[in-house]
Chain A
């Protein structure tokens, strides 16, 4: 039997949509690599400074991405350090301790938090900096510390959700075995349940790292600047890769600077793609679920 018109149209439509999206990705990657591939080398990162002297912090890098890369690295490291303990603890609490009513309320709050636009989180970070400046110390302004705190708020739902989901996904036999052997609830969680759900937890953390590295809106409001060199302390301003890309796109003064922008975009793109693939390799299909658990 020949398929009717509606069915043939559907098939055609599906392939067309698929091709269109694939083409869009191909154009994005192709365009970036076409323009940026030739600058992808060590001078892109270190400028004229010898790489090992820059890495040992003996010499400041002026014409390279090194300060931006270092800033992003520090930012991600700090944000993840704040977010992991709180996120893990909250995930464990939600899945193992919370009663149904408490869980409903907290779930709703984290759903909201996961959906709050990053610029609003940035605004909160800024307001926090102003608050601390007024009431605690004059030295606190928008800085690395505030940015990393705000970013950790942004990625907290990722870690909570993946921890909670992978704990709740454990089969009953695994849950009950250690308890039946006389383990306490806490021993069971630490020695059995968490190790068993490590894959899910890790993938959540890697997704969170990717989100931290990628986000521009939060850091724009909380202390990133176009040129600061390496951050000297937690309370100093810093450079970051995504902000550098944004800055170059509107403020470039020479073709060479624009080329650096292409290079930076490729580096960020590859970094995020790698992180996502890693998270995906560890556990499949979690990438979009942070926004809502069906």
Chain B
């Protein structure tokens, strides 16, 4: 028979687990409740695809959705090759001392505050972009994507390295015994085997890029419009939430930020479940 305090402890632990997991659901519930009046007024779908024109009573968040997609995909395009190269360097190309040092540096980079990236971006990169392309203020989709790309590269690189590390050593030994060099092992053994783990890394990095507020807020210019080129300013969902918060409470403008919140939340949900599904599919295959 279990003693009383054992039971109490178990119940308490269980309670805290339930409470903290309930927070995940509570966040969605709060967003929906707060955003409900606007959704009820115009339906859910028009909110997503109609344009943003507060003075005409239209609070669609379409430009922000496009802005978010554009900036995060552009940053992914920049960060993917960079991360690939860095993970090659760590996994196979560099001598082990360099590789270890470089890995430390990348781990250190994951700790750089995003507001510091934004700060340096404003005073260093924005003038360069302005001078180089001679258009507008220098705050543009490109500027934000460049900095965001640097920001997500460490995360992506570390996930790539992890999936290289998980390859059984016997595979590499076999390749080496056949006379393959480190680079050949990398290209013909490690890369094909690590594909799935790498996709996970890309998805999670995309999640970070979409979820980041400060870099887009400080560097993307925040104009509410569907950007037609990378040199135009754009506003992301996250930046939109931060900017509208200044407006007065109870206005419909204000309600729209909860729709943004819901979209971001649903995006997170999708990424998480795709990653989890890929993970469990891998377990079954192994």
8 Å CB interface, A10-29 against B: 10-11, 13-18, 20-22, 24-25, 27-28
Min distance, Cβ B103 to any Cβ of chain A, angstroms: 9
Are A268's CB and B24's CB within 8 A?
A: no
Which applies to chain A's interface (DSSP): helix, strand, loop or mixed? helix
Q: In this complex, what residue of B is CB-closest to A218?
A: B213
Cβ-closest chain B residue relative to A291 = B204
B74 at the interface (CB under 8 A from A): no
B272 with A115: CB separation less than 8 A: yes
Known: A16-B85, A28-B117, A119-B241. A272 touches B112 (CB 8 A): yes
> Do A112 and B241 touch across chains, with their CB atoms under 8 A apart?
no
Residue pair A10, B115 in contact (C-beta under 8 Å): no
Residues of B within 8 A of A131 (CB): 30
A216 to B213, CA, bound (A): 9
Fill in one digit per residue for A164-201: 1 if any B CB lies within 8 Å of its CB, else 0. 00000000000000000000111000000000000000
B189 within 8 A of A: no
Contacts of A250 in B (CB 8 A): 122, 218
Q: How far is the CA of A16 from the CA of B217 in the complex (A)?
A: 30
Interface residues in B184-234 (C-beta closer than 8 Å to A): 184, 186-187, 197, 200, 204, 207-208, 210-214, 217-218
Q: Given A32, A273, A292, which contacts B200 in the complex, CB threshold below 8 Å?
A: A292
Which of chain A's residues have a CB closer than 8 A to the CB of B58?
A: none
Contact yes or no, B116 A245, CB < 8 A? yes
The reply to whether A10 and B88 form a contact with Cβ atoms under 8 Å apart is yes
Q: Is B17's CB under 8 angstroms from A268's CB?
A: no
- Which of B41-49, B169-177, B257-265 is near enough to bind chain A? B257-265
| In the complex, residue of chain B having the shortest beta-carbon distance to the beta carbon of A128 | B30
A124 to B261, CA, bound (A): 9
Instruction: Choose the segment among A47-55, A59-67, A82-90 that binds chain B (4+ C-beta atoms closer than 8 Å).
Output: A82-90
Contacts of B268 in A (CB 8 A): 112, 115-117, 120
Knowing A28-B120, A119-B242, A216-B114, say if A153 contacts B23 (CB, 8 Å): yes
**Using a Cβ–Cβ cut-off of 8 Å, how many residues does chain B contribute to the interface with A?**
99
Contact with B along A106-147 (1 / 0, CB 8 A): 101111110111111111101110110000000000000000
B69 close to chain A: CB less than 8 A: no
Which B residues from 105 to 152 make CB contacts under 8 A with A? 105-120, 122-124, 150
Say if the beta carbon of A74 comes within 8 Å of chain B.
no
Contacts of A13 in B (CB 8 A): 81, 84-85, 88
A80 within 8 A of B: no
Cβ–Cβ contact A117 & B272, under 8 A:
no
What chain B residues lie within 8 Å of A186 (beta carbons)?
5-6, 9-10
In the bound complex, how far is the Cα of B86 from the Cα of A7, in angstroms? 15
- Tell whether B158 is near chain A: CB-to-CB under 8 Å: yes
Cβ-defined contact, A15 with B124, below 8 A: no
Q: Which of B40-90 contact A (CB under 8 A)?
A: 81-86, 88-89
Contact B207 A115 (CB under 8 A): yes
Q: Is the beta-carbon distance between B124 and A27 smaller than 8 angstroms?
A: yes
Contacts of B34 in A (CB 8 A): 127, 130
The 4 closest A-B pairs by CB, nearest first: A17-B85, A117-B211, A276-B111, A14-B88
Interface of A with B (CB < 8 Å)?
3, 6-7, 10-11, 13-18, 20-22, 24-25, 27-28, 31-32, 35, 85-87, 89-90, 92-94, 97-98, 105-106, 108-113, 115-124, 126-128, 130-131, 153, 156, 160, 184-186, 210, 213-214, 216-217, 220-221, 242, 245-246, 249-250, 261, 265, 268-269, 272-273, 275-277, 280, 285, 287-288, 291-292, 294
List 19 interface pairs A-B (beta carbons < 8 Å), by A numbering. A7-B183, A17-B85, A18-B86, A87-B20, A89-B17, A93-B17, A94-B17, A115-B271, A115-B272, A216-B114, A216-B115, A216-B214, A245-B115, A246-B115, A249-B118, A268-B113, A269-B112, A273-B108, A292-B275
